Structure 1
Amino acid sequence: MQQTVLDHIEQVAEDAVSLVLRGAAGPLAPWEPGAHVDLALPNWLTRQYSLCGDPADRESYRVAVRHDRLSRGGSEYIHRFLRRGRALDVSLPRNHFPLLPAPSYLFLAGGIGITPILPMLRAAVASGAPASLVYLGQSVASMPFADELRSSYGDRVRIVATRQQGRPDFAALASELGPGAVVYACGPGPMLAAAEDAFPSGRLYAERFRPAPRSFAPNTAFEAVCARSGRTVEVPADESLLDVLTHAGFPVASGCREGVCGSCEVAVLDGAPEHRDDIGAPEGRMYACVSRALSPRLVVDL
């Protein structure tokens, strides 16, 4: 973890605030557009937020947090109780949503989904590639960084207040894509579902707030062999691998517990994991919060 101090907190939409976290012990770890961090809150909760500042700024990180009316305690604490000067631990950045080189870009953002998209747009424009953003929200007042985007990028940015204008025609946008153009999207589930229907799958990269609904075979029990410690733990059908490892005393980090943040990644040395995450585990890895085993036995590097 990295030690930071909350240097600045600012209202950036009617229900969203921006936090600037300054490194307490020198420069912070580098990051690239699309990265997120775990923020350890003083109320013992850890939450994941996309970095939305400037990757060239090694002195501070910027994140934005919408006040979720069904908050499990994270966004509510930040909005109601967090104050400037508070010391906060922040993880090293992780990136499961990297910006890949392309001849041109279309970015789609919905509400707080602007956070990973904002530094992507900045990087794409700096590279000289044609890039544009379609930014959706119920109203302009609800859309973080709307003024910043309009002043910085002008006609490259199209802001759509859906309560008055409705959702834009994604099929029409798809028909206008140039050769090799790619689409990056982040926002609510219905927006991403519409984007997946409209844009070719090989050209659309999306990041979700919540995992997409999917069906799996019923859970079965399996055995997890912890290679380094020589211990074997039984994972029953009604418990996750993450919970069993935690109860057995293995220090596996965890964050979202929904298969979207990647903090509980473990290395698999043998056996066949059943990947149930929403981000795509690398070869030889699995996310212990949701993924299980297709084989009766997994060997993990713990």
Structure 2
Amino acid sequence: MDREAEYVVEVAARHEIADRVIELRLRPLDGDLPSWRPGAHIDLIVTSRVTRQYSLCGDPDDNGMYTIAVLREPGGGRGGSSYIHNMVHAGYRLRIRGPRNTFALVDAERYLFIAGGIGITPLLPMIRAASARDTHWSLMYGGRTCASMAYLAELGDLSAHGAVEVCPQDRTGPLDVEKVLAAQPAGTQVYCCGPESLLAAVEQYGATCLSESLHVERFAAPPPDPSAWFDEEFEVDCVKAGVSVRVPPGTSILQALDRVGVHAAASCMEGICGICETVVLEGIPEHRDHVLTPRERVDGNRMMLCCSRARTPRLALDL
């Protein structure tokens, strides 16, 4: 797998759009940026050691500008958001990779969008697309307060095409996802992005009635459950490279491959960005990512190298 191309962009504009949320508009220094569709995200290479994924929330038809929104995480998070808020202003140059899309909008007759806080960003282009196609859609949007919730004005305009329910927690309490999911007609495609507590609730309540039409995107991996893991040594055959390597416990497939000179593209190292997705030719993966759907996991013909392992003694990969 080849490493993704990188692009240098310049911050054309920076705006504060909600409490602790800034919007950055990024333009290329030369030519156009790659095209993208709703649900796509980019890697923002903040520093030599810090890379973060941000959803594109602008116009997919504008190859001359990318738009992202960045929440300043409480306590500084993992360092990326604080740096961006403190250091990145108009004229600042950054490197990006992508875009890639592990959260694509499928064709449907009706959609339910559920957003928590900054999770509105990947859903906003989807809502615009559904509105443009005159497709039935509704949005449940939660946040701490109205002041902390980005893009409320635009969503108010879009409400002429669909139903928008704004639920600031200080007024309405937590989102009642069980109630809203239970009320969805068959065939509704559900898209959800937000904090882990929201995603876990949506996955729990949607597991029975909406499992085939539920799509979630995470900004960070949830805490692992080691009791459910297979963590024995196994062998990986790289069919194209003609190389085999043993992967011991505590070592990722990516790390093992790197030791024998087989380099695969990777970014998040948590199984959430999808860049290290690889075709499985033989063997059964032990999936630990948060990208593949339940059906894709059962099919077992793709896996994420940064976090997943093997249920069989050997995996043959298309590398």
User: TM-score normalized by structure 2?
Assistant: 0.87
Counterpart residue type for residue 204 of structure 1: L
Gaps spanning 5+ residues in structure 1: where? none
1:145 aligned partner: 151
Q: Which moved more, 1:109-118 or 1:290-299?
A: 290-299
1:41 aligned partner: 46
Instruction: Indicate if the aligned counterparts of 2:42 and 2:97 stay in contact, CA closer than 8 A.
Output: yes
Q: Secondary structure at the match of 1:91?
A: strand
Measured in 2, the distance between the counterparts of 1:78 and 1:33 equals 24
1:202 aligned partner: 212
Q: CA deviation at 1:128?
A: 0.6
2:84 aligned partner: 78
Asked whether 1:298 is paired with 2:310, we answer no
Measured in 2, the distance between the counterparts of 1:87 and 1:127 equals 36
Query: Aligned ranges for residues 1-302 of structure 1 at < 5 Å?
Result: 1-68=6-73, 69-153=75-159, 156-199=163-206, 200=209, 201-212=211-222, 213-214=224-225, 215-280=227-292, 284-302=301-319
Q: CA deviation at 1:179?
A: 4.6
Measured in 1, the distance between the counterparts of 2:232 and 2:281 equals 20
Q: CA deviation at 1:65?
A: 1.3
Counterpart residue type for residue 37 of structure 2: E
Counterpart residue type for residue 257 of structure 2: L
Counterpart residue type for residue 173 of structure 2: G
Mark the CA change 1:30 to 1:151 in structure 2 (over 3 Å): closer, same or farther: same
Gaps spanning 5+ residues in structure 2: where? 1-5
Runs of 4+ off more than 6 Å: none
Measured in 2, the distance between the counterparts of 1:296 and 1:195 equals 35
- RMSD value over aligned CA atoms? 2.1
Q: CA deviation at 1:143?
A: 1.1
Measured in 2, the distance between the counterparts of 1:198 and 1:298 equals 34
Measured in 2, the distance between the counterparts of 1:267 and 1:175 equals 36
Q: CA deviation at 1:239?
A: 0.9
1:156-192 deviation digits (Å, cap 9, x = unpaired):
3221111221124334323443453222111112222
The number of residue pairs the alignment matches comes to 302
Q: Secondary structure at the match of 1:131?
A: strand
Counterpart residue type for residue 171 of structure 2: Q
1:75-121 deviation digits (Å, cap 9, x = unpaired):
12111112222222222221111111111222110001001110011
Q: CA deviation at 1:153?
A: 3.0
Q: Secondary structure at the match of 1:299?
A: strand
1:120-177 deviation digits (Å, cap 9, x = unpaired):
1100111111212111001011112222322443573221111221124334323443
Mark the CA change 1:72 to 1:193 in structure 2 (over 3 Å): closer, same or farther: closer
Mark the CA change 1:171 to 1:37 in structure 2 (over 3 Å): closer, same or farther: same
2:3 aligned partner: none
Q: CA deviation at 1:254?
A: 1.9
Q: CA deviation at 1:240?
A: 0.8
1:33-86 deviation digits (Å, cap 9, x = unpaired):
111111122343221111111111111111111112252221121111122222
Aligned residues with identical type, % of pairs: 42
Q: Secondary structure at the match of 1:93?
A: strand
Q: CA deviation at 1:270?
A: 2.9
Mark the CA change 1:153 to 1:26 in structure 2 (over 3 Å): closer, same or farther: farther
